[in-house]
Structure 1
Amino acid sequence: MTSVQIPQVRKKARLELISAGPPMGLLKFNVDSAASGSSGGGNLRDGKGLIKVMFSKSIGIDDFNFNYRRSLY
């Protein structure tokens, strides 16, 4: 009979990021883009983290860098 050793798999530690909001009276602008979906979008949040404006746009070009820049216009 042959013995088989199964290596132990370590769970990767999860990194939790906490986004700091902008100072009161200012807005934080977040933008994201996806090449596979050919779309981009973003939002504006206030100092309390409340979304004031959301936007998205279908661009139709499968290039991440182009989509990221284009989602701003």
Structure 2
Amino acid sequence: MKYLVLLVIVFAGIWWIRQQRRPDTPQQKTSGPQIMVACAHCGTHIPENEAIHGAQGVYCSQAHRDSHEG
């Protein structure tokens, strides 16, 4: 019985170590450079995936898009 408990502890330790070494989030895999774009209203550079797209370009905020496009 004590060998069975010892075996379970060893397997649990191996499983825990493997879980700690595995990356948890996809951000760790895709932390490369991002494409930056300039706001058509103020010129501030922001990542393309955070930009707000409008008819006349990309903007850093909804307020700038509304202000610039009328």
Q: TM-score range by the shorter chain?
A: under 0.3
Q: Which has the higher contact order (CA 8 A, sep 6+)?
A: 1
Question: Which structure has greater strand proportion?
Answer: 1
Larger radius of gyration: 2
TM-score by structure 1 length?
0.26
Question: Which structure has greater helix proportion?
Answer: 2
TM-score by structure 2 length?
0.26
